[in-house]
């Protein structure tokens, strides 16, 4: 897997995931919506850690810049 996510993209995804997790534990989001959003937040964190998003491949998106 080649990296296709840049630093800003990774930071943004982690921040969104953290906000979703905070909203869940504050009981702002509940039910099925909470479960779906928690799954998305887990995916966001995982893709941020490995710097690779499989959904970027079909569209040819790369936010990673080689130095």
Count other Cβ atoms within 10 Å, centred on residue 41.
Answer: 20
Those residues whose C-beta lies under 8 Å from the C-beta of residue 37, and which sit 6 or more positions away, are: 20, 23, 24, 29
Query: Is 67 or 36 the better-scoring residue by pLDDT?
Result: 36
Whole-angstrom distance, CA of residue 67 vs CA of residue 61: 18
Rounded Cα distance, 34 and 23, in Å: 9
Measured distance CA(31)–CA(66) in Å, rounded: 42
Q: How far apart are CA 11 and CA 14, in angstroms?
A: 5
Predicted TM-score (pTM) above 0.75: yes
Tens digit of pLDDT for each residue in 8-49?
Answer: 999 999 999 999 999 999 999 999 999 999 999 999 999 999
């Amino acid at each position: 897997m080649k990296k296709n996510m840049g630093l800003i993209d990774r930071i943004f995804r982690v921040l969104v995931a953290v906000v979703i997790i905070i909203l869940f534990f504050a009981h702002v989001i509940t039910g099925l919506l909470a479960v779906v959003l928690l799954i998305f937040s887990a995916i966001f964190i995982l893709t941020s850690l490995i710097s690779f998003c499989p959904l970027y491949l079909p569209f040819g998106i790369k936010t990673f810049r080689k130095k």
